[in-house]
Chain A
Amino acid sequence: MLDLKKIRADFPILKREVNGKPLVYFDNAATSQTPQQVIDVIIDYYSNYNANIHRGVHALSQEATDKYEAARHTIQKHFNAKHAHEIIYTSGTTHSINLIANGFASLLKKGDEIIVSALEHHSNIVPWQMLCEKTGAILKVIPMNQDGELVMHEYDNLLNENTKLVFTNHISNALGTINPIEEIINKAHQVGAAVLIDGAQACPHVKPDVQDLDVDFYVASAHKMCGPTGVGMLYGKEEWLNKLPPYQGGGEMIAEVSFTKTTYAGLPHKFEAGTPNICGGIAFGAAIDYMNTIGFDAIAKYEHELLEYATKALIEIEGLKIYGTANNKTSVVSFNLEGIHPYDVGTILDKLGIAVRTGHHCAQPIMDFFKIPGTVRASFAFYNTKEEIDALVSGVKKAKMMLS
């Protein structure tokens, strides 16, 4: 059982009012809120030991370096990576994906195939399209069904000896579908393809074990898991990271430089050119610690309760349709009121102090599939309450009354 009162007290922002009403924050899938424990770490960094890392001999630099590397170990342990150098700090999921897509440019040839799922964040499809343009590889898509689940027998048909890379999200941001990534990974490995899993939406809810999954690459963003924006991670199996060329040139990523030749630094520094988001990395570690203190089992159980509670109340509203009805989904409800534009619903909810996301959620292909301009998306976190869901439900009813 979660102690909601205590947990909510950890998040100063939850005390805020918006438009004269207590804030109800249901846009957690876009960015989660930050607990005081993480805010304190950020303040401590800038107040006490702000310095560049891996460079100075002085005390501050050493302290900052130690804490930054300790956070890497926290991330390693959390994801159960074999080595700390298999964890690369990035600016977020998008950066991580681009780093891998860029690396594969030197490994792919014409006629090779990349498989992505129909449930992707559309900004994440672009790096693969660019990669295909560059290399002549072919992009294939695992389709989804009306419930927003991937059609797995179609996936079987797409796999063959030309498949070099499979990319899918662990959990869909628009619909909340939890994808069967174990099966996706196993089957890809049977044809010798590598697998990259986008865990941006999964990591706030579950604790992935990358060795158990046997996944080749796994990526996530801190800002969706109680950490700050602008920092994220890339896990890659050592042998894969050694195979990929560096992404950006700059300081930190080199061992020796002359004008004729540069030798790259070893992992993880080969992929960490320039001064990183030091404070962000340290705070990322603190965010992971915080979430583990709450406990992922308890989080999953409670969020599932919230999801069921919200789903049950919302579908009772006449004319409300929920998109994404997979059996296995996280605490996201994407919906529309019949004949009413999601933007209008979101605007009224905002007036009531309720923060939801409206629009296509960067998943235009999914919206096209359902032939809708977008949805209203309420996404719940472990610090939300049933009372807040009651406020959402009455807000939706009010929006319906005003708009129809």
Chain B
Amino acid sequence: MNIQEIQNEIIEEFSMFEDWEERYQYMIDLGKTLPLIEAQYKTEDNIIKGCQSKVWVHAELKEDKIAFTADSDAIITKGIIAILIRVFSNQHPAAILEANTDFIDQIGLKEHLSPTRANGLVSMIKQLKLYAIAYQTQLN
């Protein structure tokens, strides 16, 4: 699936939730069940320090696609990361660079991507894009 298709799929999934509680419970459960990053990559180098929660991101080029893994010490942040990873991972660098995160708005999680929220997510998305730029250069 391409990024747009995955985003549409997520929007559809979220449209089934009746209220914020169901949306949040879903994210919390996502955050709890997913082992997102291998312990060896949970390093100081891979850390993005939000004021509130920490985020770790690791990227690897697999053929011509980037595989991202990430984690956070806060579970709601981690749930959102799981959603972002589902969208951005295993995609071509060019597609990652083109993509936006407007879908987050549509699934009612906009406030978590506010630059002033200090949970590390905005910096994480920036970091995903930086990896995409780096790997694209490498591929060319």
Contact = CB atoms under 8 A, between A and B. Distances in A.
Given A343-B76, A374-B52, A403 B28 contact: yes
A110 interface: no
B24 A359 contact: no
A402 B25 contact: yes
B16 interface: no
B21 interface: yes
A348 B76 CA distance: 9
Contacts of A347: 24, 76
B24 A402 contact: yes
B20 A351 contact: yes
A172 interface: no
B51 interface: yes
Contact of A402 (B21, B52, B119): B21
B63 to A, nearest CB: 36
A166 to B, nearest CB: 30
A360 B119 CA distance: 13
Given A358-B52, A403-B28, A344 B20 contact: no
A298 interface: no
Interface in A343-372: 343-344, 347-348, 351, 358-360
- Interface size on A, as a range, is 10 to 19
Interface in B9-28: 20-21, 24-25, 28
Interface string A19-53: 10000000000000000000000000000000000
A359 B75 contact: no
A359 B52 contact: yes
Contacts of A348: 24
Contact of B76 (A344, A359, A373, A374): A344
Contact of B24 (A341, A351, A360, A374): A351
Interface in A160-206: none
B123 interface: no
A340 B51 CA distance: 17
Interface residues of B, number: 16
Nearest to B120: A343
* Most A-side CB within 10 Å, residue of B54, B73, B76: B76
B25 A341 contact: no
A141 to B, nearest CB: 23
B53 A343 contact: yes
B28 A402 contact: yes
B94 to A, nearest CB: 34
Nearest to A348: B24
B6 interface: no
B77 interface: yes
Nearest to B23: A351
A360 B52 CA distance: 8
Contacts of A359: 51-52, 118
Nearest to B75: A344
Contacts of B99: none
* Most B-side CB within 10 Å, residue of A19, A343, A347: A343
Contacts of B25: 402
B74 interface: yes
A353 B19 CA distance: 15
A17 to B, nearest CB: 14
A341 B28 contact: no
A351 B74 CA distance: 16
* Most A-side CB within 10 Å, residue of B21, B118, B119: B21
A343 B24 contact: no
Contacts of A360: 51
Contacts of A344: 28, 74-77
Interface string A367-404: 00000011000000000000000000000000000110
8 contacts: A341-B73, A344-B28, A344-B75, A344-B77, A358-B52, A359-B52, A360-B51, A373-B53
Given A351-B24, A403-B28, 14 more contacts: A19-B20, A341-B53, A341-B73, A341-B75, A343-B76, A344-B75, A351-B21, A358-B52, A359-B52, A359-B118, A373-B54, A373-B73, A374-B52, A402-B24
